[in-house]
Amino acid sequence: MELVSDISLIRGEEELFDRTAHLFVAATDIACAADDLYTWALSRPSLTRQGERLVRGKRIRKLYRPGVLLNEQTAEHLHRLSGFGAQIRIGTEEINETILLDERVAIMAGDEGKAVRSYSVISRPELVQGILSLFETAWLAATTLETFDARFADIRKEAPQMLEFLTTGCKDDKAAKSLGMGVRTYQRRVSELLVALGVTSRFQVDARARELGLL
């Protein structure tokens, strides 16, 4: 771990969990923003189970992109955490992958495109407050899990077929007919699916869907 003033630079998830586990145990106010569940503890099943137990008695806020709701398993995971008392919201805007602990420590994920992902653990008060302000803005603009998921249920059911159509180059009229809907309705659903995946064009669908384990 390289120490730069009150910013610790950590390389790799293994070191991240080893160095910060005690901070999560001690924290009573945890705020998390991530593109998907695989950014943090879901990649460590044992820690995920522990995290579920530790939700009770703490203020837990989790902010995710819509893509987490495309997979039935991850959607169920979020609803389970919500049932334990965690507050979960879904936002459609780009977010910085961040965890805030007791408004005193911030953990920010680095570029995931590198072989070993880096994480910054920040305790400098003015920096933490700035990161917290960004989180609060995104949190207020997001929608509750229950409200968003109620609108998202149809997309999740249709997502496997839609992804197949999009990745094989199926024409919109043929795809719409197969799904029993009009072309305009299908195109609207495709637009909603692109938002959920966090991509801006159909050409990006295949790679992103594979990243999320949908293909």
Taking only the tens of pLDDT, the chain with its 215 residues reads 444 468 888 888 888 888 888 888 888 999 999 887 766 654 444 445 555 566 667 899 999 988 888 777 888 888 888 888 889 999 878 778 899 999 999 999 887 666 788 899 999 999 999 999 999 999 999 999 998 888 777 777 888 899 999 999 999 999 999 999 999 999 999 998 888 787 889 999 888 888 766 77
Specify the pTM: 0.75
pLDDT the model gives residue 105: 94
Three-state secondary structure call for residue 1: coil
Token pair belonging to 12: 């790799």
**Residue 69 DSSP class:** G
In the chain the first and final C-alpha atoms are separated, in Å, by 36
| CB contact set of 96 (below 8 Å; sequence gap of 6+) | 33, 108, 131, 134
